[in-house]
Amino acid sequence: MPGTQFDVVAIGNAIVDIIGRCDDSFLDRHGAPKGHMRLVEPATIGKIYETMGPAIEISGGSAANTVVGVASFGGRSAFIGKVAEDEFGRIFRHDIRASGVSFNTPAVVDTGRATSRSLILVTPDGQRTMNTFLGISTDLDQGEVDPEVIKAASIVYLEGYLFDRDEAKAAFRQAVEIANGAGRRVALTLSDLFCVDRHRAEFLALIRSGIGILFANESEILSLYETSDFDEAVKHVARDTKLAVLTRSEKGSVIVSDGTPILVPAEPVKKVIDTTGAGDLYAAGFLYGLARGYELPMAGKLGSFAAAEIIGQMGARPEVKLAHLGRMRGLIG
């Protein structure tokens, strides 16, 4: 979009991801529901960390993964999120900037609150189970929302995980108001099935009042509209927003534009290594394509391509620049 500094600016939880492998019995011993995210205290993460194998530590969080993906495509992206002035805060800040994302939210000093972190356990079938300590990232409020950064974005992307506190909800509504006032597009990801269960009514109100682009996977959209019929959920979402992007794993994705469904096939994957970040990277490809003026089917194809690349490796950071891989495949110029 002319006059914008960034293709995508995201607001979300600033989390340091600690990623390691385990088997199903390890999850059972620690009471971790396979394939889902649960909120835990630092003591629980400590107990799991002590007994797990080798791990890697990188800047994470759903929306942060997405804007790193946009940068990997060669896009211009920024992130707004809250960290403490501690070891994990420094890890997050350095890593996300090194990935090519603008991140200038000031770190918070001496509050007694620690930077958020998530211990991600990956089983041999590639499923990831997240044990997340929502530290200071959930303290995000209107003070962190920089109006000039919001106005400088073609698309503002909001992470549903942040909806657990009233202050963060107020920040979201502030960002929506600023973006809409500046003629920018606003996108929301529902983030997680349990997140939808907790905030269904408020999500629906937000979607209907100012969200132009909605991202959800199949279980999330079914939960949002309290139905077991995907086609029924599509009809509902078509009435509530102009553009919805619904991912369905190996079934591909469905883009619902002005009530019309567009089917996008999944990209083939030789072997699923780790599903961490699949939805986040799909969003990255789609948003990059949308911001750069690609037609919707092609934006969806870029999303499927990015998701397929990320589940073929460990972690949610592309090992090879998506711009390079996309050019090799003839997907981007």
Least confident of 39-48, 152-161, 224-233, 234-243: 39-48
Residue 93 · residue 107 · CB < 8 Å:
yes
Per-residue pLDDT reduced to its tens digit, 97-107? 999 999 999 99
Tokens representing residue 121 in the block: 């356990």
pLDDT over 90, % of the chain: 74
Among left, alpha and beta (phi > 0; psi -120 to 50; other), residue 31 is: left
| Average pLDDT along the chain | 93
CATH class of 6-328: alpha beta
Tokens representing residue 157 in the block: 């992307």
* pLDDT of 216 above 60: yes
Residue 277 · residue 316 · CB < 8 Å:
yes
Q: In the prediction, which pLDDT does 237 show?
A: 97
pTM to 2 decimal places? 0.91
Per-residue pLDDT reduced to its tens digit, 242-281? 999 999 999 999 999 999 999 999 999 988 888 888 999 9
E strand segments, 62-176: 77-80, 101-103, 116-122, 128-133, 153-159
Residue scoring higher pLDDT (80 or 37): 80
Strand duo 153-159 + 128-133: pairing: unpaired
Domain boundaries, the chain: 6-328
For range 88-94, the mean pLDDT: 94
* pLDDT of 1 above 70: no
Q: Report the candidate in 85, 94, 218, 101 with the shortest Cα–Cα distance to residue 153.
A: 101
* Cα-based torsion angle of the residue sequence 267, 272, 275, 281 in order, rounded to the nearest 10 degrees: -30
* pLDDT of 166 above 90: no
Dmax over CA atoms of the chain, in Å, equals 54
Strand duo 128-133 + 37-39: pairing: parallel
Helix (H) or strand (E) holding 309: helix 296-311
Task: Please count the other Cβ atoms lying within 10 Å of the Cβ belonging to residue 8.
Answer: 30
Q: Please enumerate in sequence order all residues whose Cβ is within 8 A of that of 118, keeping only pairs 6 or more positions apart, or say none.
A: 15, 16, 17, 18, 37, 60, 61, 130, 131, 132, 133
278-291 vs 296-311: helix crossing angle, rounded to 10: 150
Q: In the prediction, which pLDDT does 236 show?
A: 97
CA angle 109, 115, 117 (to 5 degrees): 175
Q: In the prediction, which pLDDT does 3 show?
A: 64
Q: Which DSSP symbol is given to 30?
A: T
Residue the block writes with tokens 């044990």: 131
Strand duo 253-257 + 128-133: pairing: unpaired
Task: Please count the other Cβ atoms lying within 10 Å of the Cβ belonging to residue 11.
Answer: 25
Per-residue pLDDT reduced to its tens digit, 2-37? 468 999 999 999 999 898 999 999 999 999 999 888
